[in-house]
Amino acid sequence: MGSDVGTALITGGTSGIGLEFARTLAARGHDICLVARDLNRLQEVAEQLRANRIQVEVLVADLCDRSQMAIVEQRLSDPGRPIEILVNNAGFGVPQRFAGGDLETEQRLLDVLVTAVMRLTHAALPGMVARGTGAILNVSSVAGWITGGTYSAAKAWVTVFSESLSVELAGTGVHVTAVCPGYTHTEFHQRASMEIDSVPEWMWLDSQKVVDQALRDVRKGKPVSVAGSQYKALSLVAQYLPRPLVRSIGSRRAGGQSRAKH
């Protein structure tokens, strides 16, 4: 990552991990460009961030809509207003089985978690490479190492995509890191109507810890960032478990999702 000044563009920057990225980077002196669907919430968060005496821009965009995503792509590729840091954070969960589930919901998941990450990264990279500096943090998940439906499949794509780019961009001054949190205290699970009462307290992370670890890791050029000793250990185990066992774990997780509250 380059200097400690410059603009950071954050998708899904009005809540959860995205909001924590915005607050942390604003406190460090970065100007911020926030992307989300809710204008009122964008303006509210922007006003809070301006207390750091920085510039804050807001872009209203639904990343499921290709024409709205194009607005964000244009902002990322604008040579007159360079983006130093891109945080691809926007996302949501789908508490349903794929077979018999709503296909349009699955398509929206793919649009936001995969297509948007690919297109926004593609828009940001030429300028970063030309300047010889920049950072892209793609918020993935430790769920990408297990078989947890289309959400896990999408996050597996994000992680491998980020790892591949970290190799491709070696020596350019541009770093790409997949941020792989576990259960984190945000609005994510409530919005997805997921049952989380059975998750033990030791498995929960604070969003600030996730963000601090991610920013340290991208600065060091690490392709994957995992916060929390519990998830560092679990992630290592998950990557080397026999696949039949991984599938067994995934099937139990899917069973829990099918009992999610609606």
The set of catalytic residues is: 151
Q: Where are the alpha helices (DSSP H) in 13-148?
A: 16-27, 39-49, 66-76, 103-110, 116-131
SS3 content of the chain, % helix, strand, coil (to 5): 55, 15, 35
- Judged on CB neighbours under 10 Å (0-12, 13-18, 19+), 13 is buried
Q: Tell me how far apart the alpha carbons of residues 58 and 157 are, in angstroms, rounded to a whole number.
A: 28
Residue 16: half-sphere exposure toward Cβ, Cα within 13 Å: 22
Residue whose tokens read 């969003």 = 207
Q: Assess contact for 49 and 86: CB atoms under 8 A.
A: no
